[in-house]
């Protein structure tokens, strides 16, 4: 029993260049351990380098090329520096932010030192910040790029590295491949020059970010008195959102949210949640308890880097229900249109959402005479739609302030949701009533998702190939009317790995859709389900939708295995 000679050589070579004594020690212990578990851990850590894609890097902390560590980060920073140099940008500024996870600040400092030595002028926040603040700072400061060290809503043992270019948007092809090619050239970080010559991002950058949100709210249709009447509960999910959300609310005259104390401040252990994602079952339990205690009108939650927003509302029976991302997306779409109507502002531009998000968005946009675009999954695509007024993706990402932030922004979305709730409360209405009105006008759009985790990435290819070569003829007793292979650009979108099944519907369902695609950030195959049920009795429509979604899920899940 023991590590093979070839793997041992590889591990020892890695340790020789690793500047972190913690990860060196962990690898040394694994090499010394005479156990199958240690050998398997090393094999996985050295299986292959973390892939640098359009979301940058993301993975488990630890030593080795398939982990997030200082070697991988220095390689990434050096690759980014070479790419920017090739673009003729030497001498320009790069702004760097980081969240509250383990090693985030260390990774940010390493990045700054590599960029400084390569001839750039790194600017780094001296405290944790939300991802949308970093995205705002890129445009505000006029930098040529930005780096955010974050793993978003991943488990506590993970970290990540997100890259933006000077437009303040996440990278897309071909930039991601070109940066990746540059990273692969860095084989020994001992050869990478590093220089401690960064400057601290001035506090007025965050002040201007907050002001951009407050100015929009103050120009809206609600009064300070109405905004001050909304009672809200907020959780940062142990992340970095509280300070920004608090300042945004105070500056916009909202009543200060009731922050869940156990989850308000950054804590990389995420001790009160099994998984720091507001979509996960149980993640909002503490928030709901506080909402009941405070008789709140609304519950809002950010993920740990505050680029996403979750919303929960009280039901008539006193219980709380978390809205699906598509419901929040549709509500915000309605409100963007409605607030313009109430302020006599003419909207000109485009609404957009990702292809796995609800079909309702298109109808809302076109009913208001606005253009609409469907994009590939990921906010890097949504944010690039020309003349974007509002965009969202079903995974809790919303862009309501595209002039200032070219990415999803859970802080500004929170102010818009609170503003909407304030206007409706003043009229004796709720967000539920707007969802009902949308359902009566356009049909009840209901969506759900099933996914399967994979241990072997070859399983993903096998599943997707099977769906293409032998596509199912029906889901949930509804015949497949059309099949679109996204890898062949049959929708007019850039090629991507995914398959869309459009269904004919039945007596209770007007139309339905099933989309299967690999996850871009997790080892999962995801299946997105949507049905449309028209019925003036929304209770019956809801029951029909739930029945249809369950039937679709029952047929879809075996196909993912």
| Catalytic (active-site) positions | 152
Q: Give the CA distances from residue 65 to residues 175, 241, 399, in Å, rounded to whole numbers and listed in that order.
A: 21, 31, 34
Tokens describing residue 379: 């906010």
> What percent helix, strand, coil does the chain show, rounded to 5?
40, 20, 40
Residue 275 has φ and ψ, to the nearest 5°, of -150, 120
Give the whole-angstrom CA distance, residue 100 versus residue 60. 15
Q: Which of 268, 247, 270 shows the shortest CA–CA distance to 98?
A: 268
Dump strand ranges (E) for 212-356.
232-235, 258-259, 298-302, 309-314, 320-322, 350-354
256-269: b or e for each residue (b if 16 or more CB lie within 10 Å)?
Answer: ebbbbeebbebbbe
Asked if 89 and 56 touch (Cβ cutoff 8 Å), the reply is: no
Q: Which of 532, 516, 528 shows the shortest CA–CA distance to 445?
A: 532
Give the whole-angstrom CA distance, residue 474 versus residue 268. 45
Give the whole-angstrom CA distance, residue 545 versus residue 540. 9
Angle, alpha carbons 247-250-252 (nearest 5°)? 105
| 360-367 helix and 325-342 helix, angle to the nearest 10 degrees | 10
- C-alpha 299: how far from its chain's center? 19
Give the whole-angstrom CA distance, residue 323 versus residue 495. 31
Tokens describing residue 18: 């690793």
Asked if 369 and 132 touch (Cβ cutoff 8 Å), the reply is: no
């Amino acid at each position: 029993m023991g590590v093979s000679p070839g793997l041992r050589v590889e591990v020892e070579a890695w340790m020789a260049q690793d500047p972190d004594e913690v990860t060196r020690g962990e690898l040394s212990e694994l090499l010394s351990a005479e156990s199958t578990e240690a050998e398997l851990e090393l094999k996985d850590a050295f299986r292959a380098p973390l892939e640098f894609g359009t979301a940058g890097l993301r993975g488990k902390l630890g030593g080795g090329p398939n982990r997030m560590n200082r070697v991988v980060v220095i390689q990434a920073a050096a690759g980014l520096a070479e790419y920017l140099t090739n673009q003729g940008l030497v001498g320009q500024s790069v702004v760097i932010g980081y969240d509250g996870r383990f090693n985030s600040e260390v990774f940010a400092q390493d990045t700054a030192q590599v960029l400084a030595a390569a001839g750039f002028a790194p600017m780094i926040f001296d405290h944790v910040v939300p991802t949308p603040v970093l995205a705002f700072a890129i445009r505000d400061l006029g930098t040529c790029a930005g780096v955010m060290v974050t793993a978003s809503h991943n488990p506590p043992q993970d970290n990540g590295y997100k890259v933006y270019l000077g437009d303040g948007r996440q990278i897309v092809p071909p930039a991601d491949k070109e940066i990746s090619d540059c990273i692969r050239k860095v084989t020994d970080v001992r050869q990478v020059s590093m220089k401690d010559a960064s400057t601290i991002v001035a506090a007025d950058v965050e002040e201007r970010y907050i002001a951009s949100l407050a100015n929009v709210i103050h120009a809206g249709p609600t009064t300070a008195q109405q905004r001050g009447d909304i009672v809200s509960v907020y959780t940062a999910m142990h992340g970095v959102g509280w300070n920004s959300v608090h300042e945004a609310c105070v500056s916009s005259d909202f009543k200060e949210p009731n922050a869940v104390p156990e989850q308000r401040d950054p804590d990389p252990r995420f001790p009160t949640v099994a998984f720091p994602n507001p979509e996960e079952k149980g993640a909002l339990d503490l928030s709901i308890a506080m909402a009941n205690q405070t008789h709140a009108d609304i519950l809002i939650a950010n993920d740990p880097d505050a680029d996403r927003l979750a919303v929960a509302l009280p039901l008539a029976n006193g219980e709380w229900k978390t809205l699906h991302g598509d419901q929040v997306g549709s509500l915000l779409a309605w409100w963007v249109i409605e607030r313009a109507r109430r302020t006599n502002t003419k909207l000109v531009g485009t609404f957009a959402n990702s292809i796995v998000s609800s079909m309702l968005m298109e109808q809302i946009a076109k009913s208001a005479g606005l253009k609409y675009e469907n994009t590939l999954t990921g906010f890097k695509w949504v944010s690039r739609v020309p003349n974007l007024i509002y965009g969202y993706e079903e995974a809790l990402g919303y862009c309501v302030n595209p002039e200032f932030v070219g990415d999803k922004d859970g802080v500004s979305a929170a102010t818009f949701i609170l503003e909407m709730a304030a206007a409706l409360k003043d009229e004796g209405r709720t967000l539920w009533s707007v969802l009902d009105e949308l359902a009566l006008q356009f049909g009840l759009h209901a969506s759900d998702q099933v996914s399967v985790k994979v241990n072997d990435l070859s399983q993903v290819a096998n599943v997707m190939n099977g769906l293409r070569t032998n596509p199912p003829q029906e889901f949930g007793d509804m015949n497949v009317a059309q099949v679109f292979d996204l890898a062949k650009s049959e929708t007019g979108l850039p090629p991507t790995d995914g398959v869309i099944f459009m269904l004919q519907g039945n007596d209770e369902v007007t139309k339905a859709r099933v989309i299967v695609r690999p996850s871009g950030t997790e080892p999962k195959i995801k299946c997105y389900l949507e049905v449309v049920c028209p019925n003036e009795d929304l209770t019956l429509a809801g029951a029909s939708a739930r029945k249809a979604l369950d039937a679709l899920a029952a047929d879809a899940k075996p196909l993912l295995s």
